[in-house]
Amino acid sequence: MRRIAVLTSGGDAPGMNAAIRAVTRTALAKGWEVYGVRQGYAGLIAGNFVPLGARDVSSIMQHGGTILGTARSSEFKTEAGRSKALHALGSFGIDGLVVIGGNGSQTGAYHLSQMGFPVVGVASTIDNDLYGSDITIGVDTALNIALESIDRLKVTATSLERAFLVEVMGRDCGYLALMAGIAGGAEAIVIPEVETNPDEVVRLLSEAYRRGKSHAIVVVAEGAKYNAEALAAHFREHQGEIGFELRVTILGHVQRGGNPGAFDRLLATWLGAEAVEALARGEHGVLVGQIKGEVRTTPLAEVVANKKPLDLSLLKLNDVLAR
């Protein structure tokens, strides 16, 4: 291994820069050369590579987003797109690639490794829906942003005795909604993994009103069948039963744009450094993640074939705590 490349792909996540820094400096310390690929797999196909030295990754760790840029590339999903990427890697003399990203990105990494190229993935997505890492880079920061918003909404909700529907990110996974709901003291949590009866949520809110609560918070994952828009439409028909006046806040991409906290910087540092160590010992076609508190590798074949489970018993716990 003499020269490696690193890219960030899919949705940006706070901590990606710390991972880029860790990959770059760990590789430089081994005497290797490092190239950054701009705009994820789109840049890999286009041969958009820039050399990375130690100074190029100075003072990036504290910033959200990714200095390399990222993209969602449909071309890379095709065999032809991946062949172009292999050609570009070859023409730059790259021996190994580190892919920092979530589910779609690691699926791309798996396909590239199946074509014989040494690839190591680093688990990074605010959705925390990637098999092979209990927690992924960016989740902690995104969760704290959601929580800060919920805390603020509670202040105004209490003043006016209102209920707020707060929609958080999570296209296919309710992790962020579940954790933000529990840590934010929500009256109800709606996630894609569980079929929700909107009348049941109406009942929870009206009971909370009758128990004398001065506000109510419903945290909804964007990917739930009854997302904020659908639930709000249902609630409007039942305004009289609910008691609280209703408002809706969709947090959206605000959750992705924060500067990484200590947890995400450290996690990204451990995982980024280990990705290079894996390449150094000839281990590739794997994802580097954190499992039971330890940095571990999981074959990408296993990562793409499995869905990470969500602890749904926490929904019951929340029902008890929301009294």
By CB under 6 A, name the binding residues for ligand F6P.
Answer: 10-11, 72, 102, 125-127, 169-171, 222, 256
How many C-beta atoms lie closer than 10 Å to residue 319's C-beta? 13
Long-range contacts of 201-210 (CB under 8 A, 24+ apart): 201/226, 201/231, 201/235, 202/234, 202/235, 202/238, 202/241, 202/242, 204/322, 205/163, 205/235, 205/242, 205/243, 205/244, 206/241, 206/242, 206/243, 208/244, 208/322, 209/242, 209/243, 209/244, 210/243
In 3D, which of 193, 11, 41 has the Cα closest to residue 102? 11
Joined together, the tokens standing for residue 209 give 């009103």
Q: How far is the CB of 259 from ligand F6P (least distance, A)?
A: 17
Q: How far is the CB of 320 from ligand F6P (least distance, A)?
A: 28
Q: How far is the CB of 26 from ligand F6P (least distance, A)?
A: 25
Is 134 a catalytic site residue?
no
How many C-beta atoms lie closer than 10 Å to residue 5's C-beta? 26
Pairing of strands 96-101, 119-123: parallel
* Closest residue to ligand F6P in the complex (CB): 11
Give the residue with the Cβ less far from ligand F6P, 40 or 170: 170
Joined together, the tokens standing for residue 149 give 């918003």
Out of 12, 56, 127, 129, which one is annotated catalytic? 127
Number of Cα atoms under 13 Å in the Cβ half of residue 211: 12
User: Rg (Cα) of the chain, in Å, rounded?
Assistant: 22
**What whole-number distance in Å separates Cα of residue 25 and Cα of residue 69?**
19
Q: How far is the CB of 56 from ligand F6P (least distance, A)?
A: 25
Judge whether 7 and 68 are in contact, CB under 8 Å.
yes
Q: How far is the CB of 256 from ligand F6P (least distance, A)?
A: 6
Q: How far is the CB of 15 from ligand F6P (least distance, A)?
A: 13
- In Å, what is the CA distance from 138 to each residue of 110, 111, 191, 243, 262? 22, 24, 20, 37, 11
User: Which residue numbers are catalytic?
Assistant: 127
